[in-house]
Amino acid sequence: QHAAEAEGIAQANIAEANGEAKAISIINSALANNPQYLEWLKTQQWDGRLPLVVGEGGTPFISIPTG
């Protein structure tokens, strides 16, 4: 019984890893076809607050078009 349970857990882990690998592949393709996707993704996940500590350059983590 324990062997069957371990086999089921192993198969579930493999299925999860395969799904994650496919997701990574899809994201890589999206980035290759559209480099702006990463900038869009950053803006979607940003909470609107600026960091409390900024380095010497003071460069924001997203590109802000100036014109």
Cα angle vertex 32, ends 27, 37, to 5°? 65
Q: List pLDDT tens digits, range 33-45.
A: 887 888 888 888 8
Q: Compute the distance between CA of residue 2 and CA of residue 39 in angstroms, rounded to an integer.
A: 47
The string of DSSP letters for 8-48 reads: HHHHHHHHHHHHHHHHHHHHHHHHHH-THHHHHHHHHH--S
0.85 cut: is pTM over it?
no
Average pLDDT on 29-33 reads 86
Residue ranges covered by each domain of the chain:
2-41
CA distance 27 to 25: 5
